[in-house]
Homo-oligomer: A and B are copies of this chain.
């Protein structure tokens, strides 16, 4: 990708030429990073992927926690990346700023909402990039762009200075092309040493592999075998006994309901221009009945109990990150709605239960990348990173 320039990839917010040097002697010195335009960079407006949001907000007074942490660790910030509007989108197509190019899947979407961050890393424009994952916004672009990506344990990484969408599910995540860089960045962001001790038990989720396209499950089998060989103790266990549709429905109730609370005052004040799909999503959140909301909260509690029992420390589970590789760009809303519903099914455990997840670029279907994910108990973020690093080092 040495000949790729910025404009070809369209990963960065137009007109926002941010460039900040990291601390000279940090553990990430020599690395470059980009920040999704949901993270505050002091002196710049956080634009959130929407021209009317940018127009109605003032420059940030200080850096977001994640930006400050990477600068303190020595990485250089090279730009602010395009995001789906208000982080509400899973395909990475932004009608204001365009769709970042997925160099690993030409003609396909990059995935979103951390679209520009994933596209920039995939294209080699920077070594790592931060994103947000509320309903899949790091995991999905990691899978579609062929990258390592993490959704940390909910509330594990401070979100100060990151634009909220649905705080009960919001997380800060990051991407890298290789597991070694991914581990270095993870150590800084998690403020831990990545352990050398690996988990002792691997669960394979048959329901998740059955839910994905057969071609995806087949494409990931080699990686599952390698993972099983690495861990040494493999068995099967169902991830979602009540069904992905039920979990997804709960997450698609709770997340939009909270997003509506986040954005309703701004919507009222500004009457902004947003894509049809984004407003439809927001209004779905406005229309959740108390009964439906209460039921979704119960499903969330049940899911948390199940996953806590399923994944004690020392046990991890693997599943396909997405049910298919990146779909074509510029598809009709109705097609995207069907794809999004299936993607949500394989992602909803994250927002519902808060468990950490790492997606690894270990599958390929018809030349298109697709990720294999591992999840673990809350707080086992570094263990998942250790597994990714050990698997790459094999």
Taking beta carbons and an 8 Å cutoff, which residues of A are in contact with B? 52, 93, 95-96, 267-277, 279-280, 282-283, 332-334, 336
Taking a contact as CB atoms under 8 Å apart, the answer to whether A280 and B283 are in contact is yes
- Which residue in chain B gives the minimum CB-CB distance to A277? B271
What's the minimum C-beta distance from A337 to chain B, rounded to whole angstroms?
9
Q: Is the CB of A267 within 8 A of B333?
A: yes
Closest to A335 in B: B268
Complex partner residue of A95 from B93, B273, B277, B332, CB under 8 angstroms: B273
- Judged by DSSP, the binding face of A is helix
By the criterion CB–CB under 8 Å, are B275 and A276 in contact? no
Q: How far is the CA of A83 from the CA of B261 in the complex (A)?
A: 31
Pick from B95, B96, B271, B272: contact of A271, CB under 8 Å: B95
In contact, B95 and A268 (Cβ under 8 angstroms): no
Tell me the smallest distance from the CB of A307 to a CB of chain B, in Å: 34
Tally of this chain's copies: 2
Q: Are the CB atoms of A334 and B276 closer together than 8 Å?
A: no
Given A52-B95, A332-B268, A334-B268, A276 and B277 contact (CB-CB distance below 8 Å): no
Q: What 10 pairs across the A-B complex have the smallest Cβ distances?
A: A279-B279, A268-B333, A273-B273, A268-B332, A271-B333, A267-B276, A268-B334, A95-B273, A271-B277, A271-B276
Q: List 15 A-B contacts (CB under 8 A).
A: A93-B271, A268-B332, A268-B333, A269-B332, A269-B333, A271-B276, A271-B333, A271-B336, A272-B276, A273-B273, A273-B275, A274-B276, A276-B282, A279-B279, A279-B283
Which residues of the partner chain B approach A283 to less than 8 Å between Cβ atoms? Answer: 279-280, 283
Nearest Cβ in chain B — how far from A254, in angstroms?
21
Q: Which residues of B contact A274 (CB under 8 A)?
A: 273-274, 276, 279
Q: Which residue, of A276, A280, A332, A336, has the highest number of chain B Cβ atoms within 10 A?
A: A276
Instruction: Return A279 CB to nearest CB of chain B, in Å.
Output: 4
Q: Give the complex CA separation of A271 and B277 in angstroms.
A: 6
Alpha-carbon separation in the docked complex, A274 to B282 (Å)? 14
CA distance A267 to B277 in the complex (A): 9
Report A97 CB to chain B, min CB distance, Å: 12
Contacts A52-B95, A95-B52 given: A271-B275 contact, CB under 8 Å?
yes
Given the known interface contacts A279-B280, A280-B283, the answer about A273 and B334 at a Cβ–Cβ threshold of 8 Å is: no
Check if B273 sits within 8 Å of A96, measured CB to CB: yes
Task: Give bound CA distance, A52 to B274, whole Å.
Answer: 11
Bound CA span A334–B190, Å: 43
Chain B residues whose CB sits within 8 angstroms of the CB of A332 once the complex forms: 268-269, 271
